Structure formats: structure tokens, C-alpha cells
């Protein structure tokens, strides 16, 4: 199974960090292989079509924008 690619889009504020924590917690709870990347460059973030942060992309697909879902909600996005 290929590892899920999690990308947290945001310039590094506490909310972005919280989203990263929740995403990791969700991936661990599901026992899936994953990689996590923090995309902090605004130009890179905008290439996703995201204008509000934090945002979470899974395998290149933006799943949530401007919100911090809890780990339970992120689990659904990873399945």
C-alpha cells in the first residue's frame, strides 16, 4: 500500500500546527502509512487554489480549507 501524502497548508501559525497534529493522530489511529509535509510557502499554497489557511490536502486533493477538523473527522477523509 502506498503511503498517504498529507500536506498541511499554512504559514506556520498555531492553527496549522494543530491541524498537523490532528492529521497525524488520524493517520496513526487508522494505522496507515503516511508522510506529512508542511507547506508554508504562500506561492506553493496558492498553487492548490487555496486562499485561506490552514488547509489539508491528502494525496494532492484539498480536503478542508480554513478549518481545523478533529482527528475523527480527518479519519473519514483518509479512508
Partner 1 sequence: MSDCCGNNQSKKAQSSSCCGGGKKRTVLIYACSGGANVGEISDKAARELMFAGEGTMFCLAGLGGDIQGMVQTARDADANLVIDGCPMDCAKKTFDRHGITNYRHIKVTDLGIEKVKGVRGTAEQVSVVMAKAKEILADGK
Does the N-terminal peptide bond of residue 54 adopt cis geometry, omega within 30 degrees of 0? yes
Contact by Cβ (8 Å): 15, 22? no
Q: Which of 25, 30, 32, 62 binds partner 1 (CB under 8 A)?
A: 62
Residue 14 lies near partner 1 (rule: CB under 8 A): yes
Instruction: Report the distance separating Cα 62 and Cα 65, nearest Å.
Output: 7
Smallest gap from Cβ 20 to partner 1, in A, equals 12
- The residue annotated as part of the active site, out of 8, 9, 16, 23, is 16
* Binding region for partner 1 (CB under 8 A): 10-16, 18, 42, 45-46, 48-55, 57, 61-70, 73
Amino acid at each position: 500500500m502506498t503511503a498517504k501524502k498529507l500536506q498541511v497548508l499554512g504559514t506556520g501559525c498555531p492553527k496549522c500546527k494543530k491541524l498537523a497534529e490532528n492529521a497525524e493522530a488520524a493517520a496513526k489511529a487508522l494505522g496507515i502509512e503516511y508522510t506529512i509535509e508542511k507547506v508554508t510557502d504562500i506561492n506553493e499554497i496558492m498553487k492548490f487554489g487555496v486562499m485561506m489557511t490552514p488547509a489539508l490536502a491528502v494525496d494532492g486533493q484539498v480536503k478542508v480549507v480554513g478549518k481545523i477538523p478533529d482527528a475523527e473527522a480527518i479519519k473519514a477523509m483518509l479512508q
